[in-house]
Amino acid sequence: MKRTLTTLLATLACVVSFAQVKVAVHEDAPDQPVIPKEIYGQFAEHLGRCIYDGIWVGKDSPIPNVDGYRKDLVEAIRELKVPVLRWPGGCFADEYHWRDGIGPVSQRPKMINSNWGGTVEDNSFGTHEFLNFCEMLGIEPYISGNVGSGTVEELAKWVEYMTAKGGTMAELRAANGRKEPWKIKYLGVGNESWGCGGNMTPEFYSDQYKRYATYCRNYDGNRLYKVASGASDYDYNWTKVLMNNVRSNISGLSLHYYTVMNWGHKGSATDFDEDEYYDILAKAVEIDEVLKNHEAIMDLYDPRHRIDLLLDEWGTWFDVEPGTNPGHLYQQNSMRDAMVAAMSLDIFNKHTARLKMANIAQMVNVLQAMILTKGSEIVLTPTYHVFRMYNVHHDATAVPVAFSAGEKVSKAGRIFSQLSVSASKSDAVHISLSNPSITETKTVELEFDSLKPSNVTGEILRGKGKGLEAVKSYNDFGGKTNVEPAAFKDFKTAGRTLKVTLPPASVVVLNVK
């Protein structure tokens, strides 16, 4: 009843919008947290064409590759500076048996990927292929372990296989071509255990977590950061039960949040009207409230912040592209997705007292992907460009900002700000700004504590065209590039102020010295 009344009042509320906004940038604020680079993490599941045709084409492929990995993708991912990559799922993780993905490829058993389209998984991309990919690109691997259909011994032996220097598992690893162990930090103990990972109650999963985590050992200097399978969206009871029942041998608790308006009819990724555009943005930024609520529960049980929160699945989820396998979750990626990414990342940058990682779903060819591939072609999506522009925030010190930009009420009754801002500092002060309005240009006056801007550079991301046409813009195969970054110079400096003009539906990142 309360939620219905709130929605009704929001729907009836007036839209307040400020064409001119003043933003106080407190770059001199002391004792600010660092924005962990892991906030900009990625996710790669054995789902559709994320792994096969996406990351992996095989060494004998006519597509240019580096030891089987797509060469163009390797170069694109390197530009992103991806800090951490979660694998092999997702729902797939709780049906994945790691021994099927080691040894000679010709001898690896095949399985039906029953979660995602019923396609045949040949296990040609397994532990070695994933960890070597991460090692090649300097990415921290995040292993998602099988609790739903796997045994305690199976997960324990996988950890030993990857990280131990001696013993039977190390000998097996060496026989498969890798003598030295890998360093594995992040280990997820199950995935979505409330759903596809076993349909468990939080009480039952709590006991399972403790059992599995007990036998996942630290070998030869490798120290595991163990992550419990956490809640979906608004399930605050799951967080409450886990925080009450699991008090030790845990480093992080996961959370999943997808931007979906209607699970029965998710809508098109590229064909939408103005109301649908604003509804999606409003649903995306509701993650701010969701994070606050889960963090408040964690604070009650863990006031010293020993346990981190990890948003290890998030992003938009639309209907698949017409003519594609419904189970492969292949969707296009428009300027609307870029706005969701930018506004979400601005929120994450402000939650780093507890939030230490986020993993967008997914890296290639699935959901809100960074990259799309088809044969020998590759497309960098608008979301890719946001992540590349935002990598200036990686491991930078957070800078508080304060502003009031007015609010808009979406058709579904959600209220959201008419401006999105976050800031950090390292070699410069980095400021990311997003104007979600389809029609309104915003003048933003940034006022610093003491900095007098003398050297300012920036980039802007916008779609081609005007109004709704611009936010529906996307990049496609055949060289159809409609959304790409450009140099941004529409600003003026005066003393401690920097006045910026933000076009409609634009994302801007500034580096200020």
> Per-domain residue ranges for the chain?
2-30+400-512, 37-399
- The Cα 60–Cα 65 span in angstroms is 9
Question: pLDDT tens digits for 436-495?
Answer: 999 999 999 999 999 999 999 999 999 999 999 999 999 999 999 999 999 999 999 999
> Could you say which of 2.60.40.1180, 3.40.640.10, 3.40.50.720, 3.40.190.10 is the CATH number of the domain covering 2-30+400-512?
2.60.40.1180
> In the prediction, which pLDDT does 19 show?
79
Half-sphere CA count of 508, side-chain side, radius 13 A: 29
**Burial degree of 183 (CB within 10 A; 0-12, 13-18, 19+):** middle
For residue 169, what pLDDT is reported? Answer: 98
Check residue 407 and give its pLDDT: 82
| Topology adopted by domain 37-399 | TIM Barrel (3.20.20)
Q: Is 464 left (phi over 0), alpha (psi -120 to 50) or beta?
A: beta
* 313 is known as an active-site residue: yes
Using DSSP, state whether 385 is helix, strand or coil: helix
3-state secondary structure 51-96: CECCCECCCCCCCCEECCEEHHHHHHHHHHCCCEEEECCCHHHHHC
Mean pLDDT by 10 residues, the chain (513 residues): 42 56 96 97 98 96 97 97 98 98 97 94 97 98 98 98 98 98 98 98 98 97 97 98 96 98 95 96 97 98 97 98 96 98 98 97 98 97 98 98 88 90 97 96 96 97 95 97 97 96 97 97
User: Which pLDDT does position 6 carry in this prediction?
Assistant: 43
CA gap 100, 107 in Å, rounded: 9
d(CA 166, CA 275) in angstroms, rounded, equals: 60
445 in catalytic set: no
User: Which single residue is written with the structure tokens 């006056």?
Assistant: 445
Structure tokens at 52: 């096969």
Active-site residue, selected from the candidate residues 38, 140, 286, 313: 313
Catalytic residue among 121, 192, 276, 286: 192
What is the per-residue burial (b if ≥16 Cβ within 10 Å, else e) of 121-149?
bebbbbbbbbbbbbeeeebbbbbbbbbbe
pLDDT in tens, 68-78: 999 999 999 99
